[in-house]
């Protein structure tokens, strides 16, 4: 079963990390990802640019284009992973490992219904 792990965190807080702090977190996350990749369980991973760069299209008629992210929340969607796990427990274990590398905020774990891996290269 594929699970999406959606990463929510306080964007201002993440933006206040020093360059060294940011690099340290990324390095720790890379270790967790490497382990999953070696097991052939790691799907697409994305870190999104800040929500200030987001635009929202509301599907009204005609569609309405708004500046900013869709949801105004205390924590913002900052990225996601797709991971192959046997069950929810395993997905939670992955999320715990990621969380230990990057404390604060929350992960939303959602089973993937359809995944089209697409063909763009990073």
Q: Which of 4, 5, 8, 11 binds other proteins (CB under 8 A)?
A: 11
- Residue 50 touching other proteins (CB under 8 A): yes
Give residue 96's Cα distance to chain centre.
Answer: 14
Q: What is the size of the binding site for other proteins (CB under 8 A)?
A: 25
| CA distance linking residue 21 with residue 65, whole number of Å | 35
Helix extents (H) in the chain: 11-15, 19-38, 88-101
Q: Name the residue nearer to other proteins (CB basis): 18 or 116.
A: 18
| CA distance linking residue 91 with residue 100, whole number of Å | 14
Nearest-approach distance from CB 122 to other proteins, in angstroms: 12
| CA distance linking residue 102 with residue 95, whole number of Å | 10
- Residue 65 touching other proteins (CB under 8 A): yes
Task: Summarize as ranges the residues that interact with other proteins (CB under 8 A).
Answer: 10-13, 15-19, 21, 24-25, 49-53, 55, 65-68, 74, 103-104
């Amino acid at each position: 079963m594929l699970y999406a792990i959606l990463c929510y965190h306080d964007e201002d807080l993440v933006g206040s990390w020093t360059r060294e702090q940011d690099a340290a977190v990324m390095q720790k996350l890379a270790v967790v990802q490497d382990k999953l990749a070696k097991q052939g369980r790691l799907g697409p991973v994305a870190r999104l640019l800040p929500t200030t760069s987001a635009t929202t299209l509301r599907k009204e008629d005609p569609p309405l284009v708004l500046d900013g992210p869709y949801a105004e929340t205390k924590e913002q969607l900052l990225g996601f992973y797709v991971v192959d796990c046997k069950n929810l427990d395993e997905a939670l274990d992955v999320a715990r490992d990621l969380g230990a590398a990057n404390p604060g905020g929350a992960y939303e774990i959602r089973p993937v219904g359809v995944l089209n891996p697409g063909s763009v290269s990073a």
